[in-house]
Chain A
Amino acid sequence: MAGSLTGEERRTCLLILGVLALCALGIAVPGRWDPIGVHGLMVVLLCAGAAGYLLLRLNVPEPSPEELSGYYDAPIKVGVGLTMAWAIFGMFVGVWVAAQLAWPDLTFHQAWSSFGRLRPAHTTGVIFGFGGNALITTSYHVVQRTSRAPLADRVSPWFVLFGFNLFCLLAVTGYAMGLTQSKEYAEPEWYADIWLVIVWVTYFVLFLRTLARRKEPHIYVANWYYLAFIVVVAILHIVNNLAVPITLASAKSYTVWPGVQDAMVQWWYGHNAVAFFLTAGFLAMMYYYLPKRADRPIFSYRLSILSFWGITFFYMWAGSHHLHYTALPHWVQTLGMSFSVMLLVPSWASAGNALMTMRGAWHKLRDDATLRFMVVAAVFYGLSTFEGSFMAIRAVNSLSHYTDWTVGHVHAGALGWVALITFGSLYTLVPSVWKRQSMYSNALVELHFWLALSGTLIYIFAMWNSGVIQGLMWRTYTENNALAYSFVDSLVAMYPYYIARTVGGFLFLLGAIVGSINIWLTVRRSPASQAAPGVYDRPHDLDPTPNAAE
């Protein structure tokens, strides 16, 4: 890692660490009687550790001129490791909270392990930890390859990667201490939010500067999706997290948004987090890694542009469908509902574009589990966007809202689409970046695929059943116009589904562990690719002599 930086760059890193440590000290000392002090101390220690690592390696030889002029892949390699580590952490906590719903004693009567604290640790771990690291890592890879230009500099990629992981760490440790600003998917408190703004603006500038150095005349559509992801997440994050801390020595803050405006801003943020964090960037992966792996150009480039602008403009208005039957003005609810239904068009255009890319190459799915990951992800993308549009209709929402159906829908998207496309992309990226012939074991990729798919199916079928039963029980009236079931009656009816959901999640977690082991073995043991260095950019998992098979 340090060996990929020049001496001057290593000194710049030390300077940044020093400034950050001073800032952290500035909140650790006055905030020593508050959880914010714990976080301040944590950041000081992390900076000291990183500085120690660099200081011990100041004399490591600098990279050669040839390395300096090539693609900068060192942060991608670290990013892959962080992605898989957060996947295992986030999914483990997910299985744990799922099990708590069936067996409440699994909190072990500790405050930090109560459902209310572990649940955001799960969502932050998988969405930001796993998903965010996957997005940053693949964006570094895709922007360099499609622009035929190396990253614009060699310090800011590390700043963005580690800065983002520091944010995730502040978030998760904060929950354990009971810190939250009570906004779903935006729980971290004000100081972590400010830190993320700095990191995110750096990311945006790095991405733009890299694109500006491109040797291709046209910016490939995958980069548009990454840019939309970076720009819109910055806007959403800043607006939704506008808050005033009670003092600078306290973690506690209050939002500037009042009442129903707060609800609207929160769900404008929340739904666009789904759109631009969990969709746009992953579509970018799909538009690069799927054609690459299938060795077929995307079916229609024009369609990819139309669906890009469709998704970008429509999603912005869909958030209010989270607030049907609330104090939000009726017409705003209707607006959100209409745009959600319209979203089906660009969403299915993207999913269809991916599937049509496979024309004439469907036989490759039989043997190539990596490609199958991505194609099944596109199918789940199509299914869950249809389901989302459907559930946004007010009448359907009256049945589905507040039930497990919502949870099932989210996981159809998160497991079936986001995680599967990520694993498919990583299995394409890893042999390419580490210059290996193939993944260490195709059998393990195959095993991961079936664990992930069966886990997802068990999970979402359990939640569909559970959600619809819940919704129906809550709206069943007796002849005397009284509710037929108490809330606890519906809870008892959920018990078998909660157990099934835990099993499904556990299978998915097992798959992620298998995938991590396989990636580790690929890095350590897989033979290097045979092609001469410098002319090779394609994993040949199944077919060491690709031309012979064509």
Chain B
Amino acid sequence: MNFEHETLVAFSKSWGLFYLIGMAIVVVVYTFWPGNKKKFDHAKRAVLRKEDRP
């Protein structure tokens, strides 16, 4: 395969864009997935607990 500067530029300018958009969509879906809400709410309150043993 001819692996030159132009090849790399073409790859970055096309697939580089698509995979970043893809990852962004995955993250947004994970964040707003209704089933995760309970887990997140628990996590954000759990750090305020006062005990000091595992």
A interface residues (Cβ-Cβ under 8 A, vs B): 69-71, 144-146, 148-150, 215-218, 220-222, 288, 291-292, 295-298, 301-302, 305-306, 309, 313, 329, 331, 335, 432, 533-538
B28 touches A217 (CB 8 A): no
What would 14 A/B residue contacts be, using CB atoms closer than 8 Å?
A218-B39, A218-B42, A218-B43, A220-B46, A288-B47, A297-B45, A297-B48, A302-B32, A305-B31, A306-B27, A309-B23, A329-B9, A335-B12, A533-B52
- Please report the C-alpha to C-alpha distance between residue A221 and residue B41 in the assembled complex, in whole angstroms: 12
In-complex Cβ contact of B54 among A148, A217, A296, A305 (8 A): A148
Residues of B within 8 A of A329 (CB): 5, 9
- Please report the C-alpha to C-alpha distance between residue A511 and residue B53 in the assembled complex, in whole angstroms: 34
B54 touches A149 (CB 8 A): yes
**Residue of B9, B20, B39, B46 with most partner-chain A CB within 10 A:** B46
- Please report the C-alpha to C-alpha distance between residue A144 and residue B47 in the assembled complex, in whole angstroms: 11
- Please report the C-alpha to C-alpha distance between residue A538 and residue B45 in the assembled complex, in whole angstroms: 15
Residues of B within 8 A of A222 (CB): 47
Residues of B within 8 A of A538 (CB): 50
B42 touches A217 (CB 8 A): yes
In-complex Cβ contact of B47 among A145, A150, A533, A536 (8 A): A145
B interface residues (Cβ-Cβ under 8 A, vs A): 5, 9, 12-13, 20, 23-24, 27-28, 30-32, 39-54
Residues of A within 8 A of B40 (CB): 218, 301-302, 305
**Contact A221:B43 (CB < 8 A) given known A302-B31, A305-B30:** yes
A313 touches B52 (CB 8 A): no
B30's nearest neighbour on chain A, judged by CB, is A305
**Contact A291:B48 (CB < 8 A) given known A302-B32, A309-B23:** yes
A294's nearest neighbour on chain B, judged by CB, is B48
A534 touches B51 (CB 8 A): yes
- Please report the C-alpha to C-alpha distance between residue A222 and residue B48 in the assembled complex, in whole angstroms: 13
- Please report the C-alpha to C-alpha distance between residue A458 and residue B24 in the assembled complex, in whole angstroms: 40
Minimum Cβ distance to chain B for residue A190 (Å): 29
B48 touches A295 (CB 8 A): yes
- Please report the C-alpha to C-alpha distance between residue A287 and residue B44 in the assembled complex, in whole angstroms: 10
Minimum Cβ distance to chain B for residue A314 (Å): 9
A298 touches B44 (CB 8 A): yes
B50 touches A535 (CB 8 A): yes
A537 touches B27 (CB 8 A): no
In-complex Cβ contact of B9 among A216, A313, A331, A537 (8 A): A331
Residues of A within 8 A of B32 (CB): 302
Residues of A within 8 A of B31 (CB): 302, 305-306
B9's nearest neighbour on chain A, judged by CB, is A331
- Please report the C-alpha to C-alpha distance between residue A70 and residue B24 in the assembled complex, in whole angstroms: 40
Task: List the 3 closest pairs (A to B, CB-CB), nearest first.
Answer: A537-B52, A301-B40, A301-B44
Minimum Cβ distance to chain B for residue A101 (Å): 41
In-complex Cβ contact of A70 among B20, B30, B53 (8 A): B53
Residues of B within 8 A of A298 (CB): 44
A335's nearest neighbour on chain B, judged by CB, is B12
**Residue of B27, B32, B47 with most partner-chain A CB within 10 A:** B47
Residues of A within 8 A of B53 (CB): 69-71, 534
- Please report the C-alpha to C-alpha distance between residue A292 and residue B44 in the assembled complex, in whole angstroms: 11
**Residue of B27, B41, B50, B53 with most partner-chain A CB within 10 A:** B53
A216 touches B41 (CB 8 A): no
- Please report the C-alpha to C-alpha distance between residue A503 and residue B33 in the assembled complex, in whole angstroms: 52
B43 touches A216 (CB 8 A): yes
B41's nearest neighbour on chain A, judged by CB, is A301
Residues of A within 8 A of B52 (CB): 70-71, 432, 533-537
In-complex Cβ contact of A216 among B5, B13, B46 (8 A): B46
- Please report the C-alpha to C-alpha distance between residue A456 and residue B50 in the assembled complex, in whole angstroms: 34
Residues of A within 8 A of B48 (CB): 291-292, 295-297
Residues of B within 8 A of A305 (CB): 27, 30-31, 40
Residues of A within 8 A of B41 (CB): 301
- Please report the C-alpha to C-alpha distance between residue A8 and residue B30 in the assembled complex, in whole angstroms: 45
- Please report the C-alpha to C-alpha distance between residue A537 and residue B50 in the assembled complex, in whole angstroms: 5
Residues of A within 8 A of B13 (CB): 331
**Contact A537:B49 (CB < 8 A) given known A218-B42, A313-B20:** yes
Residues of A within 8 A of B42 (CB): 217-218
Minimum Cβ distance to chain B for residue A485 (Å): 39
Residues of A within 8 A of B46 (CB): 146, 216, 220
Residues of A within 8 A of B50 (CB): 535-538
A215 touches B27 (CB 8 A): no
**Residue of A69, A144, A302, A306 with most partner-chain B CB within 10 A:** A302
- Please report the C-alpha to C-alpha distance between residue A218 and residue B40 in the assembled complex, in whole angstroms: 8
- Please report the C-alpha to C-alpha distance between residue A350 and residue B35 in the assembled complex, in whole angstroms: 24
A297 touches B39 (CB 8 A): no
Minimum Cβ distance to chain A for residue B9 (Å): 7
- Please report the C-alpha to C-alpha distance between residue A534 and residue B52 in the assembled complex, in whole angstroms: 5
Minimum Cβ distance to chain A for residue B24 (Å): 8
**Contact A215:B30 (CB < 8 A) given known A295-B48, A301-B43:** no
Minimum Cβ distance to chain B for residue A433 (Å): 10
B27 touches A220 (CB 8 A): no
A292 touches B43 (CB 8 A): no
- Please report the C-alpha to C-alpha distance between residue A222 and residue B44 in the assembled complex, in whole angstroms: 10
In-complex Cβ contact of B44 among A297, A535, A536 (8 A): A297
Minimum Cβ distance to chain A for residue B2 (Å): 18
